[in-house]
Amino acid sequence: MNVYLRVMEHQNQRICAVCDKEILGQTFREGKIKIEVKESFYKGELVSVEESIIEIENATIVNLVGNRIIDKLIEIGLVHRDGVIKINGISHVQLVRF
């Protein structure tokens, strides 16, 4: 399973944007909630989930979209199921570490 991973540095913060490969470029809406999986933000390297986990563990801010990547992070204990929102069936999580 591959995901897109983009790593950015901004004001002493390490930011990771990760999305499932197949949803890049799509928009999901549910009621008043909308998320755009924009290439300009999420498209970085196409990597394995295992490679993305290393970057996610070292980031201070993480933006995640996609059922497969988030299910894997729940499975290994990096994301708690209660922190996940679903937008038209697609999982989304933001993590911030201080």
Q: Which phi and psi (to 5°) does residue 34 adopt? A: -145, 140
Instruction: List, as own/partner pairs, every contact residues 48-56 make where C-beta atoms lie below 8 angstroms and the sequence separation is at least 24, other chains included.
Output: 48/1, 48/2, 48/3, 49/1, 49/2, 49/3, 51/5, 52/3, 52/5, 52/16, 52/18, 53/78, 55/5, 55/7, 55/16, 55/18, 56/16, 56/18, 56/95
State pTM to two decimals.
Answer: 0.94
Q: pLDDT tens, 43-95?
A: 999 999 999 999 999 999 999 999 999 999 999 999 999 999 999 999 999 99
Domains of the chain plus CATH, in order, are 2-96 (3.30.1860.10)
